[in-house]
Amino acid sequence: MRLLQMLEGIDEKSRKKLRMLKMIIGKEERISWYPSAGNDIRDLFEFSEGQAKYYGMKSISNLFVHTDYYRDFFDLDKKKVIKEVYPYLYRKDFRRVSDFYDYVNKRHNVVHFFIKDIYKLRLKRRFPVSYDFTPGKYHGSLTNYSPEEILLFEINFASKHGNSKAYLLYFFFENFNFLSEILLKYNVKISHMVKIREGCGLGGCYKSISLAYSLLSVLGVKYLYADWEVHFDPYTDTILYELVRKHGIDAKYYLIKEIHRLKEWSGFSARLFEIIPTNIRMNSFLMANILKRITNHFEIRNASSEDTFVRNPGSEIFSKNIFQPGEIE
């Protein structure tokens, strides 16, 4: 299922733009998903055509999707991202200027973002979803939590590669709710994924989207930009167990190849990986080996407290039968 086919505009302006976007994208959606994106739009630059050539990537994203339940990052009346989280991001009128330091080439990559317009969309009625938010330790309030409304941002930006345009869909979903009710339920494929500073400390609801690494083959991911954080908690096995059985998932093992390193993205080091699929069924041992390539430690939350401790990854963090598809009992 193509994601754009599931959406409709709420007025004539948004319906017209959505029709135009469908023509631009065509039949091959190459979606980049950034869970817990907040107000970070650096992925538009990192997965742009010019930057992809610099990295040696074989495909680029043509549609960006961000998810975050915390809506207060945006002032829609002024077309602004109203809260700046990191000092190297600043705003002037509708513009955002981002200075990304390239530690490899020892130079600054200055990117000028301009939000040209914002359109309000929603899911068509024939694509029902179950909105779910798990209360936990989150930042701010949920007074603006409105997952029914989807925003389409038309963004122009200028960088060392020239002028570019990107279309960004913003879903105000909890990450796992979006993963289950949109991507897996309707078999929406994504080609790129960004997992940077997901906010487990302030907004994680005790569920880390790093668990989705287990399902990259099912989602169709070709490239992953990831920081070093991998979190597990007492609910990890339960979440994955339920997803595998609810959606009849048959996860496959994949090879992971590092193609670029960033010393800093939102205060974290990050690496760009190419995902190479195989026909081998995923198991706990193989998944643990993949995680060793992504990170050198886990944070494990104790079931009886909020304290964390660190240990090396191993297959014992998963239940033995967790990747076996079947019905939920």
Per-residue pLDDT reduced to its tens digit, 204-232: 455 778 888 989 999 999 999 999 888 76
- Which residues does 137 contact at the CB level (< 8 Å), separation at least 6? 202, 203, 204, 205, 206, 306
Q: Is the pLDDT of residue 289 over 60?
A: yes
Output the CA angle 197-201-202, nearest 5 degrees. Answer: 95
Distance CA 192, CA 60 (A): 8
- 172 part of a folded domain: yes
Q: What is the pLDDT of residue 91?
A: 37
| More confident call, 8 vs 199 | 8
- Average pLDDT over the chain reads 79
Q: What is the pLDDT of residue 87?
A: 31
- 21 part of a folded domain: yes
Provide the β-strand partners of residue 66. 34, 170
Confidence of residue 241 (pLDDT cuts 50, 70, 90): confident
Confidence of residue 176 (pLDDT cuts 50, 70, 90): confident
Residue 223: CB atoms within 10 A of its CB come to: 24
- 246 part of a folded domain: no
- For the chain, give the percent of residues with pLDDT over 70: 69
- 238 part of a folded domain: no
- 272 part of a folded domain: no
Q: What is the pLDDT of residue 64?
A: 98
Q: What is the pLDDT of residue 296?
A: 67
Give the position of tokens 């979006």. 178
- Mean pLDDT, residues 60-87: 65
- Classify residue 312 as exposed, middle or buried by CB count within 10 Å of its CB (0-12, 13-18, 19+): exposed
Q: What is the pLDDT of residue 102?
A: 58
Confidence of residue 281 (pLDDT cuts 50, 70, 90): very high
- 97 part of a folded domain: yes
Q: Is the pLDDT of residue 271 over 50?
A: yes
Q: What is the pLDDT of residue 266?
A: 84
Q: What is the pLDDT of residue 309?
A: 41
Q: What is the pLDDT of residue 8?
A: 98
Distance CA 214, CA 212 (A): 5
| More confident call, 59 vs 237 | 59
Q: What is the pLDDT of residue 109?
A: 65
Q: Is the pLDDT of residue 4 over 70?
A: yes
- Which residues does 297 contact at the CB level (< 8 Å), separation at least 6? 228, 230, 310, 311, 312, 313
Q: What is the pLDDT of residue 303?
A: 41
- 278 part of a folded domain: no
Q: Is the pLDDT of residue 239 over 90?
A: no
Structural domains in the chain (count): 1
- Mean pLDDT, residues 71-85: 50
Q: Is the pLDDT of residue 159 over 50?
A: yes
Provide the β-strand partners of residue 113. 96, 157
- Mean pLDDT, residues 59-86: 67
Q: What is the pLDDT of residue 253?
A: 95
Residue 102: CB atoms within 10 A of its CB come to: 13
Distance CA 90, CA 79 (A): 15
Q: For residue 258, give the 3-state DSSP assignment.
A: strand
- Predicted TM-score (pTM) of the model is 0.85
- 279 part of a folded domain: no
Q: Which of 137, 145, 201, 204 is nearest to 176 (CA)?
A: 204
Cα 174–chain centre separation:
11
Q: Is the pLDDT of residue 82 over 50?
A: no
Q: Is the pLDDT of residue 243 over 60?
A: yes
- Mean pLDDT, residues 89-106: 49
> Which domain range does residue 156 map to?
3-227+255-264
